[in-house]
Amino acid sequence: QLHNDKFSNLGKYGSDLDGIVLDLGLSSMQIDEASRGFSFMKDGPLDMRMSKSGPSAADLVNTSSESEIANILYFFGEERSSRRIANAIVTRRAERPFVSTLDLSNVIENCLPRKKPGASHPATRSFQALRIAINDEFTELYEALFAAEKALRSGGILAIVTFHSLEDRIVKRFFQLRSGSAGNSNRYAPELKNGPKHFQVVNRKAIIPPDQELSNNPRARSAKLRMAKRLSSEPGSTLLPSQLGIPAIQGKHYA
């Protein structure tokens, strides 16, 4: 059965499951169809919503404060030039609001040094950050992790495919803590004591696509697969977003 719903609601559709796969990436359709508003290479409405409900990326960049835009770009996109870009966005929108993807992409590109051969597009990190904020992606991942823990049977496998370092660190941290390891601290996540075991990590090192797959599907180049096996213990208590390293913006965790 197919259900069109959010990851956070997966607990409504099954229990005692043998396996769960969470693919955290965009579909090629969302990237290729300019009308969806995700692409910085094709002109389309500045949307970026996975569904058609809620505020769009245009709403965010046209109404948010300069500091909030800068923090979103920095914490959700790891964009070092976040404040410069945010200032350029606010300056330009005072003349006219942003309505298209290429409009925003060009403003971002003009803020940054000329792209080096083979480097990613200058707007890559900023578009990622805006998409994460618009779709509340870290909240979805955060809630999906605990929903999956409850829905799996003993011995069931949780497999998660990530596509950027922020979400990969969150998944890695969750598996570390739920397998009884304290995990390493970082700027977002505090050091914790060893806890009870609810999962057994299957692959300590993330699995990345082989060269043959990358030649057939270059978009898989940033994909990482992590897996863990559910143990027989009861589901653990819900961890705080900060314990998983989910960044907070102006005191608010997007989870």
Q: pLDDT grade, residue 233 (50/70/90)?
A: confident
Q: What percent of the chain has pLDDT over 90?
A: 67
For residue 255, the model assigns a pLDDT of 44
Q: Tell me what the pLDDT averaged over the chain comes to.
A: 89
Q: Does 156 fall in a domain?
A: yes
Question: Which element (helix H / strand E) includes 90?
Answer: helix 82-93
If asked whether residues 54 and 84 sit together in one domain, one would say yes
CATH at residue 53: 1.10.150.170
For residue 98, the model assigns a pLDDT of 98
If asked whether residues 18 and 35 sit together in one domain, one would say no
- For the chain, the domain total comes to 2
CA distance 244 to 183: 10
Total-model pTM: 0.87
Residue with the bigger pLDDT between 255 and 152: it is 152
Residue with the bigger pLDDT between 17 and 2: it is 17
Which residue among 135, 157, 179 closes a domain?
135
Q: Does 2 fall in a domain?
A: no
CA distance 79 to 72: 9
Residue with the bigger pLDDT between 37 and 111: it is 111
Rg (the chain; Cα; Å): 19
pLDDT at 65 over 90: yes
Q: Does 154 fall in a domain?
A: yes
CA distance 58 to 101: 9
pLDDT at 253 over 60: no
If asked whether residues 248 and 146 sit together in one domain, one would say yes
Which residue among 135, 151, 182 closes a domain?
135
pLDDT average, residue stretch 21-26: 92
If asked whether residues 47 and 128 sit together in one domain, one would say yes
If asked whether residues 170 and 216 sit together in one domain, one would say yes
Residue with the bigger pLDDT between 120 and 75: it is 75
DSSP, res 245: T
What domain range is 153 assigned to?
7-27+137-253
If asked whether residues 21 and 43 sit together in one domain, one would say no
Which residue among 72, 102, 135 closes a domain?
135
If asked whether residues 105 and 227 sit together in one domain, one would say no
**What is the phi/psi pair of residue 244, to 5°?**
-95, 5
CA distance 215 to 221: 9
- Residues 130-145 pLDDT 10s: 999 999 999 999 999 9
Q: Does 225 fall in a domain?
A: yes
If asked whether residues 224 and 245 sit together in one domain, one would say yes
For residue 52, the model assigns a pLDDT of 80
CATH at residue 204: 3.40.50.150
If asked whether residues 123 and 23 sit together in one domain, one would say no
Parallel/antiparallel/unpaired status of strands 152-162 and 17-23 = parallel
Q: How far is CA 7 from the centre of its chain?
A: 12
For residue 193, the model assigns a pLDDT of 60
pLDDT average, residue stretch 68-85: 96
If asked whether residues 151 and 243 sit together in one domain, one would say yes
